[in-house]
Amino acid sequence: MSHSSIQTTLVGSYPSPEWMLAFPGEQQVLDATRAVVNLQEKAGIDLVCDGELYRFDPNHPEANGMIEYFSHRLTGIRTDSTFEEREAYRAQKGTAYRIRVPGFVEETIGHGDLDLPSACNRIGRIATHPFKFTVTGPHMLAKLLV
């Protein structure tokens, strides 16, 4: 780790490796995370991250699970949609790129089976440098959930 007053880190998610898309599974996510972290450490990044690969969803590789990782795990959010709901959603500004509607908030949102500590522990077992764990913020969830 450098000793300058300005530390280096990364922002955003890494693209999912082709081999992870071809053979999705926990071991592949672990291997991809290891590759991402090792690359950053070799490059001298001070505060490494997992490239947000913890939220990889083979059904939504275009968004790297940015919203779906949360909407499919939290309670109070319906994730199925009708054709009419999808068309109305895509007509909204800033949502046309979405293949599916990420979800409809129908009741108080609960944590469901969202387990961010386990996802964070994955990078903690791999990184030899200080690391950060990033999550999709409430602004993005509020913007894309209906």
Confidence band (pLDDT; 50, 70, 90) for 3?
A: low
Give per-residue pLDDT as tens, 13-34.
888 888 888 888 888 889 999 9
Give per-residue pLDDT as tens, 51-91.
888 888 766 665 567 788 888 899 999 999 999 999 998 88
Q: Residue 89: phi, psi to the nearest 5? A: -65, -45
Residue 112 above 70 pLDDT? Answer: yes
- State how far the alpha carbon of 46 is from the alpha carbons of 2, 7, 16, 69, in Å: 7, 6, 23, 27
Q: Where are the domains of the chain?
A: 18-144
Question: Average pLDDT, whole number, for the chain?
Answer: 87
- Closest alpha carbon to 61 in 100, 34, 89: 100
- Helix (H, G, I), strand (E, B), or coil: what is residue 71? helix
Distance CA 135, CA 92 (A): 24
Residue 1 above 60 pLDDT? Answer: no
